[in-house]
Amino acid sequence: MAFGKLKSKYFPKDFTWGVATSAYQTEGAWKADGKGLSIWDEFTNDRKFKNGNGNIATDFYAQYKEDIQLIKTLNLKAFRFSISWTRIFPEGVGQPNQAGVDFYHKVIDYCHKKDIEPWITLYHWDLPMALEEKGGWTNREILDWFSYYVDFCTKEYGSKVKNWIVLNEPMSFVGLGYFMGYHAPGRKGLKDFLSAAHHTTLCQAHGGRIVRRNIPEAYIGTTFSCSVVSPKNFWPRHIKAARRMDALLNRFFIEPALGLGYPTDVIPGLNRIEKYFQAGDEELLKFDFDFIGIQYYFRIIAQFSLLPPILFANEIPASKRNVKTSPLGMEIYPKGLMKMLKQFNKYKNVKDIYVTELGVCFDEKLIGGKLEDDNRVKYYKKTFKICRRAIIKGIRLRGVFLWTLVDNFEWADGIKPRFGIVYNNFRTQKRTIKKSGYWIQEFLKK
Ligand code: BGC
């Protein structure tokens, strides 16, 4: 098979080509129609936060029809979006907010009208503030709160939606939000991290069970962030440091679901998490997902370090390594996708694999009303070739979702890093298809 000119017809017929977004990053309308506040609303509207907010974001709440039409125009077939928990339950639990419930019916119905397959993510980081005030993910009661929310959503939308994703990247929201304080809710320290991590892993499996119970024919998955981790050099202590970093970033949340427990084999200090266990938790952590999603963005070079304790490893920043970096300061390393696909494919009880986010960001401007993002086109060409090669090698890869449709609010980093295949003018909310968008359209043309 020559890869000179890659075509979508070289992929299996039923391969899913989609695009992914999340509620907080796109919807805006932060207080509209009875919506309650989430941890991200509070975090970004605090005076200490300097990178804007998602109060308007990309105005998806008002422009969902135009955006779904864009997906159609670009020949993509699937739309992964998330539900904002506080649009459904402003206080996290209790009485549902009918206007919020109706909004997602409208989004789903419009997808069907345009023959776009909806894929719902139940949790993409926007925890209700009312629940954070009670401890959020560090409080074991989150199991009840999350179950209540998932039960409602799956009963409400289950007859219309087959594909369900329980969580988006637990390591990101637990690590950045409860250990580093860089993301909402801005908490720091090992205690918060370990308790939040354990409750998240329990919810990951329990969410899966609720979807299965309420929608027997559902196709159920969950997503994981992943990073290629290489040692600084081949000194044994750096090699071991890289192994620990890999366990933390790539194994921590998937292995308990597969029945393998937390990766204490290489990070013995992680056994402190057992403090948060109750009888029967080992069983409760497991769920037999139909698929997993992996989301790969960058490579990490690890070295031995006394800090942080337990991990005894840190990262050599990409800025000090003379490599290509994105505006987020991460190394752009498309090649690493193959390594991650192989690594996750090795787990025997992982069934189907999707790349549920694939993208790259740049700091971009329209020039003469156009955006010639050849660098993004190159990135997609390279990574699509990797996907094709992975399938030939027998890796159980079933689809790819681009991150993302329209440039959006990139969390703590604001609107400067642009990930879209469609440019957004955040003042006028006018969309302009980038060269990469046209390239995708052509690539997917029948
Ligand atoms: C998240 C997205 C985010 C993207 C780019 C992923 O970690 O799921 O919400 O925008 O990475 O940083």
How many angstroms does the Cα of residue 226 sit away from the middle of ligand 1? Answer: 11
pTM of the model: 0.98
* Sign of the torsion formed by the C-alpha atoms of 35, 222, 340 and 403: negative
Q: Is 91 a catalytic residue?
A: no
Size of the chain in residues:
446
- Spatial contact of 16 and 399, defined as CB atoms under 8 Å apart: yes
How many angstroms does the Cα of residue 178 sit away from the middle of ligand 1? Answer: 17
Residue nearest to atom 3 of ligand 1 (CA): 410
Ligand 1 atom at shortest distance from the alpha carbon of 403: 4
Taking only the tens place, the pLDDT of each residue in 199-231 is: 999 999 999 999 999 999 999 999 999 999 999
Q: Is 27 a catalytic residue?
A: no
**295 Cβ closer than 6 Å to some ligand 1 atom:** yes
When pLDDT is cut at 50, 70 and 90, the band that residue 422 belongs to is very high
Task: Please name which of 224, 244, 249 lies closest in space to residue 170, comparing C-alpha atoms.
Answer: 224
**Helical (H) or strand (E) element with 302:** strand 291-304
How many angstroms does the Cα of residue 403 sit away from the middle of ligand 1? Answer: 8
Mean pLDDT score of the chain, rounded to an integer?
A: 97
Taking only the tens place, the pLDDT of each residue in 356-375 is: 999 999 999 999 999 999 99
Residue nearest to atom 9 of ligand 1 (CA): 22
Of 27, 132, 169, 255, which residue is the catalytic one? 169
> What pLDDT sits at residue 6?
87
- Spatial contact of 74 and 66, defined as CB atoms under 8 Å apart: no
* Sign of the torsion formed by the C-alpha atoms of 33, 36, 39 and 42: positive
**82 Cβ closer than 6 Å to some ligand 1 atom:** no
When pLDDT is cut at 50, 70 and 90, the band that residue 3 belongs to is very low
Looking at the structure, give the CATH architecture of the domain made up of residues 3-443. Answer: Alpha-Beta Barrel (3.20)
**168 Cβ closer than 6 Å to some ligand 1 atom:** yes
Taking only the tens place, the pLDDT of each residue in 92-126 is: 999 999 999 999 999 999 999 999 999 999 999 99
**225 Cβ closer than 6 Å to some ligand 1 atom:** yes
What are the residue boundaries of the structural domains of the chain, listed by start? Answer: 3-443
Of 132, 156, 255, 357, which residue is the catalytic one? 357
Cα–Cα distance for residue pair 53/56, rounded to 1 Å: 8
User: For residue 210, which amino acid is it?
Assistant: I
Cα–Cα distance for residue pair 290/287, rounded to 1 Å: 9
The encoded tokens of residue 164 equal 């369900």
How many angstroms does the Cα of residue 270 sit away from the middle of ligand 1? Answer: 26
Taking only the tens place, the pLDDT of each residue in 286-297 is: 999 999 999 999
Taking only the tens place, the pLDDT of each residue in 29-58 is: 999 999 999 999 999 999 999 999 999 999
Taking only the tens place, the pLDDT of each residue in 230-264 is: 999 999 999 999 999 999 999 999 999 999 999 99
**410 Cβ closer than 6 Å to some ligand 1 atom:** yes
